[in-house]
Amino acid sequence: MAITVTQDLVDDFSQKIGFTGGRLGQYLDSYFDFVQDNYPFIINFFSGKTSTLEAIHFEILDDLIEESEQISQAIIERDYLLNVYLDWEMVSYLEDLKSELFTVVKTSKFLRSSKTNFNFTGSVEFNHVLNQNQTLEEVAKDVLLSPNPENDWLEIAQRNDLDELDYTAEGGNELALSVNLASRNVNVVGVIDNIIGERIHGLDIQKQIEFLDDDLKVLGFSDTIFQAVVILANLMKGDVPEFSDLGRKAFVGKSSSALGFSSLARDLVETFSSDDTLAKFTIENTFFKGTDFTLSFRVNTRLDEIIEQNVVV
């Protein structure tokens, strides 16, 4: 049952925790003013609808968080005076508001924004080595995520002083790239973080459970994406109860034809497509190693890195 916060309840609770002089009421008023007047600006900024955000919005947020911490401390120091049911309902209510404030602090991560604060510069520069057989139009489309790659590749060529004779199918050219991040929120639902650089890989706990510093060991960004590839390659149908059709089928056979290769390839493509931090799954080769039928494949990360692996099927 939701609590109904009345003025009498606020006044009584304020007296018990020593938060007199109308401070608690002012805090509640300021909180709801922030939600109505300031929070929408923060949402618009981190969702890419606006490119600037005045510092005052975060300054108000900081003040509210500081006040909420003082309220929590006052409750701890005088909790022996909280002797009726409504007192503890009020404690729960105030802690919920405090949690919401800390959630606002993480807005950029929940919206998977490339922006990390209100001092956002608007663009980032980085280097990219042209892959074999990769065109500048493909760079614009796959690396810069350009909605207009058929024209934007010209800007890449001009910035790097390239003409058609300067790059070949062998690749290897080091390109200086720049992307405007003002409206670039990457749609990666499997990762909750600021989508900047290798953070797009996300973080995961180690598959083989291990403890480090009294907590579960968490892999780095590169190890996380590599582990994801290994897990997906070896995933069998039924391994994930919630998604029983995800993975490849078990089989019995002694030749590649008996494996139902087209079915196997389709299963692997669908499995890797389920992870939006990966792209461009390609089977490179199949061969027998002893009695094991082995498949070699490659898959790209969203940073256009290539991971090559073998899996015994």
Q: Are residues 162 and 105 in the same domain?
A: no
Where a domain ends, among 55, 78, 110? 110
Q: Give the model's pLDDT for residue 178.
A: 67
Residue 4, CA atoms < 13 Å, CB-side half-sphere: 2
22 contact partners, CB below 8 Å, separation of at least 6: 14
In the chain, the number of structural domains is 3
Q: Token digits for 79? A: 């909790």
Q: Kindly report the pTM of this predicted structure.
A: 0.59
- On whether residue 118 sits in a domain, the answer given is no
- In this structure, the answer to whether residues 30 and 73 fall within a common structural domain is yes
pLDDT attached to residue 95 = 96
Q: Which tokens in the block code for residue 207?
A: 């598959």
Q: Please tell me the predicted confidence (pLDDT) of residue 122.
A: 45
Nearest-CA neighbor of 50 among 185, 197, 196, 191? 185
Shared domain for 54 and 96, answered yes or no, is yes
Instruction: Verify that 235 and 283 share a domain, yes or no.
Output: yes
Q: Which two tokens stand for residue 233?
A: 């390659």
Reading the chain (313 residues) residue by residue, the pLDDT tens digits are 578 899 999 999 999 999 988 999 999 999 999 999 999 999 988 887 887 888 899 999 999 999 999 999 999 999 999 999 999 999 999 999 999 999 999 888 888 776 655 444 445 556 778 888 888 888 888 777 777 888 888 888 887 777 655 566 677 778 877 665 444 445 677 787 777 778 888 889 998 888 988 899 999 999 999 999 999 999 999 998 988 889 998 765 555 555 567 788 889 989 998 888 888 898 888 888 777 788 899 998 887 788 999 988 8
Residues 306 and 246 in one domain: yes
CATH of the domain at 272: 3.10.450.40
Task: Supply the range of the domain harboring residue 133.
Answer: 123-180
Do 136 and 158 reside in the same domain of the chain? yes
Long-range contacts of 131-140 (CB under 8 A, 24+ apart): 131/171, 131/304, 131/306, 132/169, 132/170, 132/171, 133/169, 133/171, 134/171, 136/162, 136/167, 139/175, 139/177
Please give the angle made by the CA atoms of 87, 91 and 95, to the nearest 5 degrees: 170
Contact criterion met (CB below 8 Å) for 185 and 195? yes
User: What stretches of 193-249 adopt beta strand conformation (E)?
Assistant: 211-212, 215-216
Q: What is the pLDDT of residue 129?
A: 82
Does residue 26 lie in a domain region? Answer: yes
Distance of CA 9 to CAs 12, 32, 72, 76, 258, Å?
5, 18, 17, 19, 75
3 state DSSP class of 131: coil
Q: Are 196 and 117 in contact (CB under 8 A)?
A: no
